[in-house]
Amino acid sequence: MQIIFSEKQSDYQITAKLEREGQDILIQLVGGDVPHFGVVTGVNENNLLYDIQMPSRKGHVHQETVLTHEMIKIIQPVIQGNVFIVSGVHVNNISKIQMQAAFEMVEKLAQKVKEWIIDNPGKQQVEHFAN
């Protein structure tokens, strides 16, 4: 099951799409004129943070970690397992106002995600390993 939250501001939209497997959550944080997957940020309940930034054009990498880290900062207190955020938000010829709006939208989306996690806790699964 996929849960979808969206925010629109300054003539564009950002969407957070959530999926849960056990206590782990996958979030797609995409939007703008050219939604894509350019950054992966992973974090666990112990605050171990990992980032992958794919090349965006020659000599540059995608910069959406500023958005994924903002979301993680807000949802971190309620994380039960692993969280992966795959993100890509591109607004053609973005203005400073639109850039600031991205942070405001992600903050609102993160609050919705946090509330959803609180209201829908993952079930603790028992793992068995071979000897």
Residues in the chain where the model's pLDDT stays below 50 = none
pLDDT of residue 117: 95
Q: Where are the domains of the chain?
A: 2-119
pLDDT of residue 2: 92
* Mean pLDDT for all residues in the chain: 94
Rounded distance between C-alpha atoms, residue 87 and residue 61, angstroms:
13
Rounded distance between C-alpha atoms, residue 65 and residue 38, angstroms:
9
pLDDT of residue 127: 79
pLDDT of residue 21: 92
pLDDT of residue 17: 98
Specify the CATH number for 2-119; select among 2.60.40, 3.40.720, 3.30.70, 3.30.230: 3.30.230
pLDDT of residue 125: 77
